[in-house]
Structure 1
Amino acid sequence: MNAPSSRYRSVFAPGLFDGQVIVVTGGGSGIGRCTAHELAALGAQVVLVGRKPEKLEQVKAEIEASGGKATTQAFDIRQEEAVCAAIAAVISTHGRIDGLVNNAGGQYITPLAAITAKGWEAVIHTNLTGGFLVARECYVQSMQANGGAIVNIVADIWGSMPNMGHSGAARAGMVSFTETAALEWAASGVRVNAVAPGYIASSGMDHYPPEAGGMLRAMRNTVPAGRFGNEAETSAAIAFLLSPAASFISGSVLRVDGARPQVRMGWPMEIPDAQTQQRAAVRPFDGFHLAQTPRVFRNDEPND
């Protein structure tokens, strides 16, 4: 483990995003909060987007306390008029938008047979329609003229998402949107990619009911790497795709999942022991100085 720090410990070069304006939706918690911290630590002017102003202001204060720059825009990404107005306000304040992290999303655990039309539509609107609207407006209002990079956050949809079929359908749609936007917007100098987190120990797990705790804690046993990922490992993938190092990467999905989709019935999967999990190539990266363990793991085994 690294020594405690008062700033984000990114693996990327200081100043990587100096002068860039990057919008992060869902920036008030979880992966979005972590990513906003990393981008700000690398010099970006971060615009935090979410529905709850108090959460955005808290993250803004955290970033500023670490020496970074952040502003906030509270609106519902599912509301087209609100999206158009908010993106216009960002451009009015900052002049342009160089990057977008389309991270806002959410779902709930339920089997397909029990999902109502209202529940289905709510998840589709949050995880697909809202992301489309924000990306479209960032493109039309700024990136079409100035170029930029978009990273859409999807999920581990390979092999299905049992008990989250509404989210799986939406995320699969976002993968297709990513590929299409990469093609249609390339002539404007815009790259569009996606990051697909697997089982990540983030605050998003705190929204699941207590009875899901056992299932959540057991999920690491289905990951060949033998552990959950963390927010910083996801943020690093996002930062890479936004960076000049990814300048010839577009229309791709970068999985951050410890090889979980490769698990096959009949294959005698061996979970790495604690010593193996600390080897340089696979040990957890603890870059986020303000990371918090989800409540569901706080009374569990030390390596969860």
Structure 2
Amino acid sequence: MSYTSVFQPGLFNGHTVIVTGGGSGIGRCTAHELAALGAHVIITGRKQEKLDQVTEEIQTDGGQVSSLAFDIRDEPAVEQAVAELANKHGQIHGLVNNAGGQFPAPLEMISAKGFDAVVRSNLLGGFLMAREVYKHSMQKHGGAIVNITADNLNGMPAMGHSGAARAGMENLTKTCAWEWGYFGVRVNAVAPGWVASSGFDTYDPHFQSLIKGVKDHVPLKRLAFEAEISAAICFLLSPGASFINGHTLRIDGGSSQGSAPAIWPLPKGAAVNTHAFNGFHRAKLPEMLKDDEAK
């Protein structure tokens, strides 16, 4: 079977698109869709064996794909890799900054080393890739960049390091869009909510048990499929998004419209060590709340 895309066949014919973190999850899915739509996809990641597996899949499906293994957190490695790719393939039409990673932990348990590792994966690496692709191709030819952030609108309990990095990427997206728009470069981001992706398998059993209940806190009452994220990425890369620049598209089933996610449930009862302030001398408690106040 071939990839079933909502977009017209040949949409990206003649285009070269880099997808970082293309060996698994959303990156793997996006690479498949872009290749099915005619793009020559270059997938990158740290492990060549994972890239080889996806390369074989795409080639079996009739797509054009190449791969290159390197660490996006390593500045000299990124500079060398992007220069090599630009020299070999010519114009780079699109970049999907998908690579990243995190681990669940409360803030007080995150070390400086752990915090730095997540920020380097989810923010620094994306910046380095965007900068080098811009310098080696897009400043001269234009292009489109899509950064992958996360649903961090109300914070990211249990993943504060990732939330901080993703918020930085969202702001960086806006700055890139402003500075590079003159050169015909559009830079946008997508912020997925909870996606049924292979990344879930990397978490410990306790965290996996919490994830199973997340869908109950999504208005659409389900998790997203990887293809629903990929479709949004492909749209932002496409000519149909030619006047969209500096925007972050939330793909979360509406969950960001509510409170913090159930992955970090609050204890029942009143909070401890808190003190309320009400300086209004004529304030009156609503009748509907007086029964609760008396308890």
TM-score normalised by L of structure 2:
0.87
- 1:224–1:263 CA contact under 8 A, matched in 2: no
Counterpart of 1:180 in 2: which secondary structure?
A: helix
Equivalent residue for 1:222, pick from 212, 217, 221:
217
What residue in structure 2 maps to residue 294 of structure 1?
none
Q: Structure 2 matches for 1:202-281, cutoff 5 A?
A: 202-264=197-259
Report deviation, 1:231: 0.1
Matched, 1:67 2:70: no
Do the aligned partners of 2:200 and 2:208 also contact (CA within 8 Å) in 1? no
Amino acid at match of 1:49: T
Alignment partner of 1:248: what SS?
Answer: coil
Check if 1:40 corresponds to 2:40: no
The Cα shift of 1:63 comes to 0.3
Structure 2 stretches lacking a partner, 5+ long = 261-295
Letter in 2 for 1:44: A
Which 4+ stretches in 1 moved above 6 angstroms? none
Is the contact between residue 26 and residue 230 of structure 2 (CA under 8 Å) also seen in structure 1?
A: yes
- Matched residue, 2:196: 201
Matches within 5 A, 1:279-298: none
Q: Which has the higher contact order (CA 8 A, sep 6+)?
A: 1
Given residue 85 of structure 2, which amino acid in structure 1 is its aligned partner?
Answer: V
Correspondences of 1:1-304 after superposition (within 5 Å): 6-264=1-259
Give the CA RMSD over aligned residues. 0.8
How many residues are aligned here? 260
* Percentage identity across paired residues of the two chains: 60
Bigger Rg, which one: 2
Residue identity matched to 2:162? S
TM-score by length of 1: 0.85
Q: Which amino acid is 1:208 matched to?
A: Y
Determine the C-alpha separation between the residues in 2 that align with 1:207 and 1:196. Answer: 20
Q: Which amino acid aligns with 1:192?
A: V
- More displaced, 88-97 or 152-161? 88-97
Deviation of 1:264 after TM superposition, in Å, equals 4.7
Counterparts of 1:30 and 1:264, CA distance in 2: 27
Q: CA deviation at 1:24?
A: 0.0
In the alignment, the residues of structure 1 paired with residue 158 and residue 259 of structure 2 have an alpha-carbon distance, to the nearest angstrom, of 20
203-212 or 238-247, larger mean C-alpha shift: 203-212
Q: Aligned with 1:49: secondary structure?
A: strand
